[in-house]
Amino acid sequence: MLSADLEIYIERYDQFKSLFSDKKIFDTSIPVKLIIDYNLMALLKDSELDFLKGKNTYLALPYVLRRTNSKVFDFVSKLETESVIKGILLRNPEEMGHYLSHRSGSLKFISDSGIYSFNDSSVKFLSESVDEITLPIELNKGEKKGLLNDNSSLGRERFSVMIYGRVPMMISANCTYKTSGQCTPGEYFENFGFLKDRLNNDFPVVRHCDECMNVIYNCVPLSLHKDMDVYDGCNLRLCFTVETGEQMNQVIHKYIDLLLGKVSDIASDIEKITGGYTTGHEKRGVE
């Protein structure tokens, strides 16, 4: 089973280096779309940005966009002008509104799962505005399958599904490090902390210092390797946040093997690499 694109989202520099040191990832029959987080892209050197030219690269905009952070739009224009990116991942309605009213050039738009697309009406509205729609993480597989079938005239290549990655449990326009007197913005890139719940589970807290905000991720990653057939023809997204570069490459190869039919099950492999996984709302959805 092959997807339209295998989308790989990264937000750490060691992931960037590891990804491009493994040429086998890009040397298969599966087309790869690379989505790079804004904070990571802003730290790349000019030579590394030049390396991305001609590749199928997208920029993921910040989860929270403050009025004072207009440099984000300037950076997008720079990357578009220099042919570094082919499109952007819109994280919220404000970003979508800005770019729909200032649309120019040939940039393609992907709406992220946080932009409402829970029913046919919202899908129809988004399809008229963006090139690709990310299906909500909260829907179960039956509900997502229903949306895909009801909107089959659009083509499944207009949709993407997150099939691996830690789900954001909270996006906080407030920084736990700053409020606790531990603001060290120079260290945020590789150093993240954890919140521990009553069951002793660790929830990674990732800083985005340009926006002075945090993303708190689930204690284990989502992995939908058992339900891949439901999303045949869609863009399949692997999201890497706190994984090391080595872990990331291992997960990518397991999914590529599954997509190419070289293996029939990767459950034990994902369990070994990540220490555990969840299928999220795939069975029950949100009640």
Q: Is the pLDDT of residue 63 over 80?
A: yes
Please give the average per-residue pLDDT across 213-225, as a whole number: 94
Decide: 84 and 53 in contact? Cβ < 8 Å. Answer: yes
As to burial, measured by CB atoms within 10 angstroms (0-12 exposed, 13-18 middle, 19+ buried), residue 85 is buried
Decide: 62 and 211 in contact? Cβ < 8 Å. Answer: yes
Q: pLDDT-based confidence at 177, cuts 50/70/90?
A: confident
For residues 2 and 16, which has the higher predicted lDDT (pLDDT)?
16
Torsion of CA 264, 267, 269, 271, to 10 degrees: 180
Q: Is the pLDDT of residue 187 over 70?
A: no
Which sequence spans correspond to the domains of the chain? 6-166+222-274, 171-208
Q: pLDDT-based confidence at 25, cuts 50/70/90?
A: very high
Please give the average per-residue pLDDT across 191-216, as a whole number: 88
Q: Which pLDDT value is given to residue 211?
A: 82
CA distance 215 to 256: 28
Q: Which of 113, 123, 118, 223 is nearest to 168 (CA)?
A: 113
pTM above 0.85, yes or no: yes
Decide: 171 and 23 in contact? Cβ < 8 Å. Answer: no
Please give the average per-residue pLDDT across 50-74, as a whole number: 88
Q: Which pLDDT value is given to residue 192?
A: 79
CA distance 238 to 200: 27
As to burial, measured by CB atoms within 10 angstroms (0-12 exposed, 13-18 middle, 19+ buried), residue 236 is buried
Q: Return the CATH fold of 6-166+222-274.
A: TIM Barrel (3.20.20)
